[in-house]
Structure 1
């Protein structure tokens, strides 16, 4: 019994030591994450404006949520956000996997090329937005210049909703495809060479090797990349702020753009908080579904 008590005391002291080391980080995490989320949910139940704090906070219950979910313009923003996410994430995954598969091979200048490909990811989204805004300028932008060189007409890229959607997707794809390339290359290079050698001995074609060996064995890492890009794309704001400003009109406003506009242009703090909560719930729900599939994928491979 004495040895058991000593072992229990030692285990308890070890847990207390671990808790002592973790407590500062946990306190910071609670303050930086839990408190803002709690405040966001709390404000969403009030008619409140940060510009007029003296007016007080009027409880409205679920009134903000009912107003927002009944607003047809909000659903248009959700549809536009979904179209943007589907377009840019699909392009990034396809291009990133293709480039990553090529970069796993050994060739001269590969490291230099890999470093150059990572540069767009290091830039600020606002800088990328303004850069591509100049490139998509309808009069003297380089994109329209190239179109005229090959005999096509100019396109008002930022003055039409559909064209602006493709312009934003192109800018986001240029910036974040290197992230997929980085993870895909690491996943592909982590596959043992002996598996490829065995497949080559069995006479497997390159296509069979890619779809039956490379993709399945790197699927968990690629799925993580997909989850991260979906979450980040769904809350995209700064790129649209610099590239289109939400125009023409408000047709290229994402949900995150609508949150910022409601909060900092109209100063409807309660409505902005409710919209942010809706967006947060959607992102969390989508993440939980994808993580569940990721866990099943991990068990399979």
Structure 2
């Protein structure tokens, strides 16, 4: 049978059939929006779930009739991804348009009121923007420290020397630890009574040294702990680029008696530039979500409250679920803007090169 004979015509939007996934998406969106606004939450939840099942079934029927067996094979994985990731994301987005608290049963539609409140409210907005400014400070300091330390470590381990293999495993160990374990370790490390840091400084100054007693010390302690954990990640990416540089380029440069700086700028840097940009993107996104180390080391004290920890307190401790959801999507928008800015700069650099 030829491809022309086996091909099925693509159904139009208004053609009612089991495999018309376009019509199923439109119907699901319309019904879900109306149900979320008009019907009670207990009813709209199941109705929206039924609309999701309708769309999924239309995709499966469409794939079966058109013999897209590859799509059918990955359908279970997509279903798990939807249930575990996409559905909670969409559900939290829906909650951001309602007035809902986790300790109450009432829920009502308020539109963009939660977004307006977290951005302009006289009480909430200053705290939000102050936490955001603290987050920006942590992003600049932690990412800069990780990029510098990770790059220097990569340059070191790109060379062969005795015990290199064992030292490399030792350097990679912090990245393998959980954040809780690292946070507890640095809690004892910074402890003013029996911490190692305080013990050394106290012997040198004949006084009690408390690192976390000021904002500068608390920020430095958090930055050091975060850089200690994630500098090896940057090192791995940069090291992958360094070991890929062809040896004959260095040999030719040595014959021409090119300076060390010129060799690095003309030969080494072009191979690691893309990986450095990738490490910068990944670590910036992760630093923007910094909350765990702040909770473990300072609990937001000494003016170290980050936007992620502030979001946790709004949603969980104050039970302002809808406001927390709105603030989380404001954060998501900022991360998307940063990512697109990175991609724009990367593409512009590639075109210029």
Alignment equivalent of 2:102, drawn from 34, 37, 50: 50
Kindly tell me the number of residue pairs found equivalent between the two proteins: 294
Alignment of 1:1-301 (within 5 A): 5=4, 16-52=68-104, 54=105, 56-70=106-120, 71-151=125-205, 154-248=208-302, 251-298=303-350
In structure 2, the CA distance between the partners of 1:150 and 1:142, relative to structure 1 (3 Å rule), is same
Shift of residue 218, structure 1, vs aligned partner: 1.0
Whether the 8 Å CA contact 2:184–2:296 is kept in 1: the answer is yes
**1:133–1:244 Cα contact (<8 Å) kept:** no
Q: Distance in 2 between matches of 1:110 and 1:147?
A: 31
Distance 1:87 1:152, change over 3 A: farther
Provide TM-score, normalisation by structure 1: 0.90
TM value normalised by structure 2: 0.77
Distance verdict in 2 for CA 1:100–1:244, change over 3 Å: same
User: What is the CA distance between 1:146 and its match in structure 2?
Assistant: 2.2
Is the alpha carbon distance of 1:36 and 1:193 closer, same or farther for their aligned partners in structure 2, counting shifts above 3 Å? same
User: Structure 1, unaligned stretches of length 5 or more?
Assistant: none
**Which moves more between the two structures, 63-72 or 188-197?**
63-72
Q: Distance in 2 between matches of 1:14 and 1:296?
A: 40
* Cα distance between partner residues in 1 of 2:65 and 2:258: 57
**What root-mean-square deviation, in Å, do the aligned CA atoms of Structure 1 and Structure 2 show?**
2.3
> Which structure's relative contact order is higher, taking Cα pairs within 8 Å and 6+ residues apart?
1
Q: Which runs of 5+ in 2 are unaligned?
A: 9-63
Inter-CA distance 20–142: structure 2 relative to 1 (3 Å threshold): same
